[in-house]
Amino acid sequence: MSNPPLTTAPQAIDPAFENVWDELVWRGLVHVSTDQEALRALLGGDPVTYYCGFDPTAPSLHLGNLVQLLTLRRIQLAGHKPLGLVGGSTGLIGDPRPTAERTLNTRETVEEWVGRLRMQVERYLSFEGENAARMVNNLDWTAPMSAIDFLREIGKHYRVGTMLKKDAVAARLNSDEGISYTEFSYQILQGMDFLELYRQYDCVLQTGGSDQWGNLTSGTDLIRRAEGVSAHAIGTPLITNSDGTKFGKSEGNAIWLDAEMCSPYRMYQFWLSTADSDVIERLKIFTFLTRSEIEEYEKLVETEPFRRAAQKRLALEVVATVHGADATAAVIAASDALFGQGDLSTLDAATLRSALDELPNATVAVGTSVVDALVATGLVVSLSEARRAIAQGGVSLDGVRIEDETAAVQGTLPGGVSVLRRGKKTLAGVFIG
């Protein structure tokens, strides 16, 4: 299928802002930081090196990490030099959770996930030009260091009283679980990363989530103690929905950046469902739309919320950034066709199947009656209800209204599937097996 070209915002700094720092603040990306005036001067001056770290605690990054990836990219677009760090050593330890000890993954698992995360991070940065990005792995400088050297050269700069005050550590100390020395030491390892990157690359800024603030300042404090210079940190806000619930990550159902773990169609639908009260904030954080463009969408949310123009643009921009224009065009076509605005038979088979996976669905034998398929998919609760729905003209199969209750499912759509519809908006997928 040939998809129409998509128009997305170019990745660029908004010229309405004099300094990228001002844009970061306007977009709501600065929840906490070191000295703001110093940071504004730093980011408005000559190119500096900065970094963000990603620990391999899963085989993919998720939407929370996307905040950091896009922040890295925005600062690079302003002319600064990014370092993308994947934590081959810190991933072996694990950042302390507020409630319980992490289960340590095997070295082989961590190594595999480091490779996967590295490829994901690389997609969001440019490795060309005078401010080309670099990728680093903290295992490279941690593994060769002996325990004695670690204690003498790094540990001596830390004060236990300060370490105990870190939020995650304090929470664990007050819990029944307690905290192991292994996880207690995590903040030292992350601080050592910043020091090593300062020494190797003159890196003077780290970005991360505000929940990591204790670990971020571990690095700035260590550089001050060991080198006698000031380094900086920016903590971005934790993204939550307007009702206070966690954003993009529910129990066992995170929105992953890996297409195999979360299909582009599912991600697209996730953004489409953004509440009006959240969508403008999301456009600021997750897209490269300019301030003037976002203000226009803000007006549309107020005057024509039923059109959901802001949600559609948000979904388009983010899915195109994460999965590319072709995949985005395919999911938009599938979404439109499923809801009666396109031809189901022209859809890409893989995209259609991933879309049906998100709907109520069932696997039936070829030739199964539509009546039985309606019950199997849960669109109706009984055969008699299925027959009534057909008699009332409220059932369609693959876009064609069903008038005969003996009609059968054949799986004629791409990939050997079918789509059942009851009424205008209630859909189900039928897989032939």
Q: Residues 206, 100: one domain? A: yes
13 in a structural domain = no
Question: How confident is the model at residue 98, as a pLDDT?
Answer: 76
Strand partners, 422: 395, 426
Domain with 306 in it: 240-345
Question: How confident is the model at residue 357, as a pLDDT?
Answer: 93
Q: Residues 128, 150: one domain? A: yes
CA–chain centroid gap for 327, Å, is 17
Domain boundary at 198, 220, 236, which? 236
| In contact, 212 and 237? CB cutoff 8 Å | no
Domain boundary at 313, 345, 377, which? 345
CA distance 215 to 187: 5
Q: Residues 393, 422: one domain? A: yes
| pLDDT lower than 50: segments of the chain | 1-4, 251
Q: Residues 164, 250: one domain? A: no
Question: How confident is the model at residue 1, as a pLDDT?
Answer: 37
Q: Residues 172, 92: one domain? A: yes
16 in a structural domain = no
Q: Residues 176, 59: one domain? A: yes
Question: How confident is the model at residue 400, as a pLDDT?
Answer: 92
Residue 366 sits in a domain whose CATH number is: 3.10.290.10
Domain boundary at 288, 314, 345, which? 345
Q: Residues 48, 84: one domain? A: yes
Give me the residue label for tokens 């020091």.
195
212 in a structural domain = yes
Reduce the DSSP state of residue 174 to 3 states and report it. coil
Residue 58 sits in a domain whose CATH number is: 3.40.50.620
Strand partners, 432: 364
Q: Residues 296, 222: one domain? A: no
Q: Residues 254, 371: one domain? A: no
Q: Residues 37, 167: one domain? A: yes
Q: Residues 174, 213: one domain? A: yes
314 in a structural domain = yes
**Domain total of the chain:** 3
Question: How confident is the model at residue 405, as a pLDDT?
Answer: 87
* Burial of residue 314, with CB atoms counted within 10 A of its CB: 0-12 exposed, 13-18 middle, 19 or more buried: buried
9 in a structural domain = no
Work out the angle between the directed axes of helices 276-286 and 63-77 (0-180°, nearest 10).
Answer: 50
All residues at 6 or more sequence positions from 177 whose CB lies less than 8 Å from its CB, including other chains: 99, 100, 101
22 in a structural domain = no
Residue 303 sits in a domain whose CATH number is: 1.10.240.10
**Which stretches of 229-382 are DSSP H helices?**
264-272, 276-286, 291-303, 309-323, 325-338, 349-357, 370-377
72 in a structural domain = yes
Question: How confident is the model at residue 339, as a pLDDT?
Answer: 84
Q: The whole model's pTM is what?
A: 0.92
4 in a structural domain = no
Q: Residues 267, 371: one domain? A: no
